[in-house]
Amino acid sequence: MTKKIGHKFNIMSGIIGKKLGMTNVFDAKGKSVGCTVIEAGPCFVTQIKNRDTDGYRSIQLAYDDINPKSLNKSSKGHFEKSKVTPKRKLIEFRNFRKEFDEKVKLGMEINLTDVFNENEFLDVTSVSKGKGFQGVVKRHNFGGVGQNTHGQHNRNRAPGSIGAGSTPSRVFKGMRMAGRTGGNKVTIQNLKILKIDKKENLIYVGGSVPGAKNSYVVLSN
């Protein structure tokens, strides 16, 4: 069984969640606002690091249950040490207030309302959707040739020149070309918390956040 310690605090710099999808809510003026619904928490403290033994201070949080059969022995031992049921996602948070070091215990449960309140602003970090190998028009918003006359043929979405000939006889670093698109770690800053559903552990964040449905996100303040 997971150990639950029942006192409220606000020391963590963030929490782990899962993107459920998008919807819209109405603000105080009756205006419809697009938002993203995220299931955030509950998370559990599975490791506490300090400067004496690890060289830095941090707290590791775990989220989303997983079948113990999917874990190896070292991972099982890690969760047994903190008396937490096995979790799928582990994230380390470094930015929290030093005066609360003694209040953080292994196995402590951290809920959404322990970290965030409505009408606050937060940052959301996730891995963006992978698009595969894409050309310069989709990847870098190139305009293409744009003219179907003047002798050009079938070059509407071509990248054009990528450098001079004999001088400098090479392609400069950073040249925008076709390639793998998406699948990057992206952080969207200063998104407003429109609504918090404490009962269902749901947080409604204004605007869109990176990632596909059911992908993991990190909410930080």
pLDDT band at 11 (very low <50, low <70, confident <90, very high): low
Which CATH architecture describes the domain 14-130+181-220? Beta Barrel (2.40)
* Residue 35 tokens, joined: 């938002």
Q: Is the pLDDT of residue 31 over 80?
A: yes
Report H helices in 34-152: 51-54, 73-82, 136-140
pLDDT above 70 as % of the chain:
90
> What tens digit of pLDDT does each residue of 75-106 get?
889 898 888 899 999 999 886 655 556 677 88
- Extents of the domains making up the chain: 14-130+181-220
Determine how many CB atoms are found less than 10 A away from the CB of residue 81: 12
Four-residue CA torsion sign, 100, 13, 47, 198: positive
Q: What is the mean pLDDT of the chain?
A: 86
Q: What is the pLDDT of residue 8?
A: 42
> What tens digit of pLDDT does each residue of 117-162 get?
888 999 999 999 999 999 999 999 998 776 677 777 778 888 888 9
User: 64 by DSSP, 3-state: which?
Assistant: strand
For 52-65, letters b (16+ CB in 10 Å) and e give eeeeebebbbbbee
Q: What is the pLDDT of residue 4?
A: 35
Q: What is the pLDDT of residue 96?
A: 62
Distance CA 151, CA 93 (A): 59
pLDDT band at 7 (very low <50, low <70, confident <90, very high): very low
Check whether the bond before 68 is cis (ω within 30° of 0). Answer: no
Rounded to an integer, the average pLDDT of 40-60 is 87
Prediction pTM value:
0.80
